[in-house]
Amino acid sequence: MKKYSFLFLFFVLFFASSCQKQAAPSTSPETEPQTASETEGLIEPLFQTTVFSSVKELAAHEKEKNWQDCSVCPEPQGWSEHFQIARISLRENTYVMTEYQAAPDEALLKGLSAYDAERIQYLICKMSLFPDAEADLRINYIEKGFRETAVSGKTVYRWDEHAEGDPAKQTIGYEIAFIENGKVVFMHLPALGSFEEMARYLELNWIDLKSE
């Protein structure tokens, strides 16, 4: 009797162990840990985002952090002619992004959804903080369909944004990515004019935050 009890206990333990093994998730290329540059745009890293109303506020924050994330910040040349700063966002170890808002143009906004209306009013300049700029540009933009374009003497990668995501509808923005100063810069140029007209904002000033 003891022999049968022992065998029964053995099979129970073996069965429980098998169930635990089957329940464990398998590791596949889709679930293996990836570097930050491989996941940007696909899975947002869970880093804290801080919002500022001016470059001076950003500079003061970074000074307190001993310039942990960035000591420079790009801005489009001539942005103040038609835009005002809406907000500056810093996501730790990920990006610093400045959003500029234009005055509403009712003719351009007519018939657009709230989302599309916002997109056609905002100029966005976002600098990636990932160290491998070449991989960052390739994975997050080139492999996602941004096409190579030459403008203002530089090579950029472009994708046009349309109302409701429909290529047959109104263009609401030009998405541009390129490398400058060793960093990937992404820009959303609102379609307040043709691409050639809006491309002037691709000329950047690099603000030294330590001097602010």
Looking at the structure of the chain, the number of domains it has is 1
pLDDT of residue 47: 77
Q: 209 versus 36: which is more confidently predicted?
A: 209
Range of the domain at 203: 36-211
How far apart CA 124 and CA 187 sit, in angstroms, is 5
- 175 in Cβ contact with 159 (< 8 Å): yes
The answer as to whether 31 is a domain residue is: no
Query: Is the residue at 89 inside a domain?
Result: yes
Kindly state the average pLDDT of the residues 23-50: 44
pTM of the model: 0.77
Q: What is the mean pLDDT of the chain?
A: 83
**What are the E-state strand segments in the chain?**
49-52, 72-76, 83-91, 95-102, 122-128, 147-151, 154-162, 171-180, 183-190, 204-208
Q: What is the mean pLDDT of residues 66-79?
A: 96
- Number of neighbours of residue 93 by Cβ within 10 angstroms: 14
Is a pLDDT exceeding 50 seen at residue 9? no
* Neighbouring residues of 127: CB distance < 8 A, sequence distance ≥ 6: 70, 73, 74, 95, 96, 97, 183, 184, 185
Residue 72 lies in a domain: yes
- pLDDT beyond 70 at 26: no
Residue 1, domain member (yes or no): no
**Is residue 158 in a domain?**
yes
Tens of pLDDT, residues 158-199? 999 999 999 999 999 999 999 999 999 999 999 999 999 999
Rg of the Cα atoms in the chain: 25
Q: How high is the pLDDT of residue 31? A: 27
How big is the CA angle at 149 (ends 147 and 151), to the nearest 5 degrees? 155
Degrees to nearest 5, angle at CA 43 with 38 and 48: 105
- Could you tell me if 102 and 83 are in contact, meaning their C-beta atoms sit under 8 angstroms apart? yes
pLDDT at position 42 over 90: no
